[in-house]
Amino acid sequence: MDSDTAIDTLSARYQDEVEKLRQYFAAGNTRPRQWRLAQLDALARLITDNESAISEALAEDLDKPLQEVLMGETALILSEIRHARRHLRAWMRSRKVWTPAVGQPGSSWVQPEPLGVVLIIGAWNYPVQLLLAPLIPALAAGNCAVLKPSEVAAASSALMARLVPEYLDSKAVTVVEGAVDETTALLRQRFDHIFYTGGAAVGRIVMKAAAEYLTPVTLELGGKSPCVVDDGADLASAARRIAWGKCLNAGQTCIAPDYVLVDKGRRDALIAEIGRAIETMYGEQPLESPDFAAIINDRHYQRLKSYLDAGQVAIGGQSDDRRRRIAPTVLTDVDPNAEIMREEIFGPILPVLDIDNLGQAIDIIRQGEKPLAAYLFSGSRDNQRRFSDQVSSGSLCINDVIMFMSVPDLPFGGVGQSGMGQYHGRAGFDRLSHLKSVMKRARWPEVNVRFAPYSQWKMRLLKWLA
């Protein structure tokens, strides 16, 4: 069977499955708050009952350390569930808005309502969290969902395909495994929202497919998240936090610091501090550390190895072909036009570039696409304010990296090429709801000013009311 025939066959099957979900949604099964709470509770049990299985799957896919499973996958999901549970009643409530004089007598409000059937396409770098975290607001908002885990993280995909039907309402949530053919066939279906996490190239494909039905999309993409260390930063603290953020999941994190811009007079001191931080965390032989993850597959491993020659190796540079590991590496003297400075690195390789001042750093950042995250280490409130005002990014963190993900009420999402749409907390609930505008008018008294026949005094009165 050729690929086109296979996609046609899959598409027909998925059409039936999506239609069943749509009928279940249309019957009103997912609207009650108790159903939503029950699904959130079931999702929490899925995580807590299967912590060992999840850890084993992530170890098989990424050799992910147990604590990183907790920090980057399970704990974040459970935190988001608790937050959604706590606030669901308030999120679902109608939100009254002001009605001007021209609309009186009457009242107006915004009423959240579920969208319908949502497609969620996960990513391989955090294959559990990036599949289930968008499902939390989807369920909280009262939607049905189709989950498509990444085939690149095969063990995690198989585990999610087994566990989700065991715990969640199988008439409302389904899992589709597979690769390009399956994803292509899914994207032929009519969904009420598509939520995609991954690279920009596939993001464009998703958006084109969504345009067929004018389906709204949330795209969580990525980009080159810059990290600036100014002349007043605490170098020891900055180095430790940068090293942790860059080495987390072996750098395979969409909001990892991608490159560092540092005052030229402090470059060598910063690099020395980064080296000490890496040795403290991973020992003298990081490739042997049980706390350091592997690269997901050989294609990405070979791509990252090719970057090791992009500059002078100041720290690291070692690799292990058998286990697909690359030691935490710092590069200097990198050509700003090299591929490593054009493409998202997505690995434990950190270019460090000299700058003369904060203004130059801001200019460098603004010459590229808007990043998913931006980081500044500075003790100056003026510099912090200037950076925040002048650098556009999905998220911004001052004097740390990545930690904004721990705040459920901070919306997460990209801007420009790094994505569109935000989720987490109420932002996710609103994103996966339709905020319907409602106005209710009283029948009396009837104000005749808007009705024909028109006159000069009616126009004067309308202008005054407006």
**Which residues form the catalytic set?**
220, 254
CA distances from 240 to 33, 161, 235 (A): 44, 38, 8
Take residue 112 and report the two structure tokens written for it: 């959240």
DSSP string, 121-168: E--SSSTTHHHHTTHHHHHHTT-EEEEE--TTSHHHHHHHHHHHHHHS
Cα–Cα distance, 192 to 144 (Å, whole number): 10
3-state class (DSSP) for residue 453: coil
C-alpha pair distances (Å), 223 with each of 72, 162, 226, 295, 345: 19, 33, 9, 18, 9
Parallel/antiparallel/unpaired status of strands 419-420 and 217-220: antiparallel
User: Which residue, among 328, 330, 259, has the nearest Cα to 295 in the 3D structure?
Assistant: 328
Neighbour-count burial for 435-458, b at 16+ CB within 10 Å, e otherwise: eeeeeeeeeeeeeeeeeeeeeeee
Rounded to an integer, what distance in angstroms lies between the CA atom of residue 310 and that of residue 338? 7
CB 344 within 8 A of CB 221: no
Cα–Cα distances (Å) from 449 to 108, 218, 446, in that order, read 21, 44, 9
Helix, strand or coil, per DSSP, at residue 109: strand
What is the DSSP track for 304-367?
HHHHTTSSEEEE---EETTTTEE--EEEES--TTSHHHHS---SSEEEEEEESSHHHHHHHHHH
Which run of H or E residues covers position 262?
Answer: strand 259-263
Place of tokens 């497919």: 209
Termini Cα distance of the chain: 66
Q: Reduced to 3 states, what is the DSSP secondary structure of residue 391?
A: coil
Query: Which alpha helices (H) appear in 50-143, and where do they start and end?
Result: 51-62, 66-69, 75-92, 129-132, 135-140
